[in-house]
Amino acid sequence: MRIIAGSRRRMQLKTPEGKGVRPTTDRIKETLFNMLQNELYGCHFLDLFAGSGQIGLEALSRGAKHAVFVERDAKAAACIRANLESTGLSEQGLLLKMDAAAALRTLEGKHSFDVVFLDPPYEMSLEKEALAYLAGSSLLKEGAVLVVESGLGTDFSYLSELGYTVVKEKKYKTNQHLFLTWERKA
């Protein structure tokens, strides 16, 4: 696994071992970042359910100003810390080793984000819980872009009720990326 573009292009990244890890392939990562390229420069990026941190690191390499990585698994969090150090991006990244719900509460009132990437374990409705919390919080900047990686069968019928608009969908063999924008309800 590596960073594919930007200031840290071709730098190798560590991957946590285990069955619960689903590293994003270079091809899918390239597609994802091609769709996000206009949102990244100078943005504040949240990598929720971060795994190895490769998505947030790619965002930093491509011009994001700051990234927060949220990962509860100790081995994965250690991997993120090692990747931040080996890429020289530690000053631009903040690692929170805790579950997503606790991290969102911790970040409340201290950070707000332009871009959020959520890649929770599939079929557990964790994306719904996180999106609901984010919609009612101060963590999203007006017009924020969110990308949710999920299984193909994930129900997203609730999104408009929370103020999200689906901008794009990109389906792959076993999963999908849903691109959302968010606007505060009046």
Taking the C-alpha atoms of 109, 113, 52 and 72 in order, what is their torsion angle to the nearest 10 degrees? Answer: 30
Asked if residue 6 belongs to a domain, the reply is no
| Host domain of residue 77 | 26-182
pLDDT at 17: 72
User: Do residues 152 and 185 make contact, with C-beta atoms less than 8 angstroms apart?
Assistant: no
Per-chain mean pLDDT for the chain: 89
Asked if residue 11 belongs to a domain, the reply is no
Judge whether residue 93 has pLDDT over 80.
yes
Asked if residue 86 belongs to a domain, the reply is yes
Asked if residue 3 belongs to a domain, the reply is no
Asked if residue 9 belongs to a domain, the reply is no
Asked if residue 55 belongs to a domain, the reply is yes
Asked if residue 45 belongs to a domain, the reply is yes
Q: How confident is the model over 5-50, as pLDDT tens digits?
A: 677 777 677 777 765 556 676 678 888 888 888 899 999 999 999 9
Q: Name residue 170's beta-bridge partners.
A: 177
Q: What's the total number of domains in the chain? A: 1
pTM for the structure as a whole: 0.90
Report d(CA 116, CA 109) in Å as an integer.
Answer: 16
Q: How confident is the model over 53-86, as pLDDT tens digits?
A: 899 999 999 999 999 999 999 999 999 999 999 9
Report d(CA 184, CA 162) in Å as an integer.
Answer: 9
Asked if residue 135 belongs to a domain, the reply is yes
User: Domain holding 146: CATH number?
Assistant: 3.40.50.150
